[in-house]
Homo-oligomer: A and B are copies of this chain.
Amino acid sequence: MCHLCNYQAMLASADVEATENRLRVLEVVGNNRFPLSADDIFKTLERSSSINRVTVYRILDLLVEHGIAERLSSGGRAAYYGLAPNDHHMPHPHFYCKSCGQMDCLNPESLNVDIDSLWKTFPGRIDKVEVRVDGICKNCIKQHSD
């Protein structure tokens, strides 16, 4: 578990009541090293105890709305979820392996994006900037060459 994250507190400070299910979803999202799909999260939760898939979707929507979680588009069909950027989680780009479908986090510094000029000149409202690198991860490259 991320020792810097207190999930109870995160929910509280976002004014979201901390139900059992919400905590469970948030823990799965937050404790994972890389973003997960709704299905990943559902399957993980189901193992420990029953939950409805729709509940997972609804909780993920709620967490995203309240800025606790972040929804990331992948190169594939499903959305992926991770903790939203906050004091100890810098915004960072992601890598999507189109072979195994795994999404990975890249270092915040690995890819330098300068958004300042856009922020100043853009005539609409900017909510977020998403940077995704697509390709094949080293594991999949290895397997293909075996």
Contact = CB atoms under 8 A, between A and B. Distances in A.
A135 interface: yes
A117 B128 CA distance: 23
B137 A124 contact: yes
Contacts of A126: 133-135
Interface in A125-146: 125-138, 140-141
A47 to B, nearest CB: 28
Interface in A106-121: 106, 110-115, 117-118, 121
A42 interface: no
Nearest to A71: B75
Contacts of A60: none
A90 to B, nearest CB: 16
A118 B106 contact: yes
Contacts of A73: 73-75, 132
A130 B115 CA distance: 14
A73 B72 CA distance: 10
Contact of A124 (B95, B121, B125): B95
A64 to B, nearest CB: 11
Contact of A114 (B98, B112, B127, B137): B112
Contacts of A137: 123-124
A41 interface: no
Contacts of A136: 124-125, 127
A138 B124 contact: yes
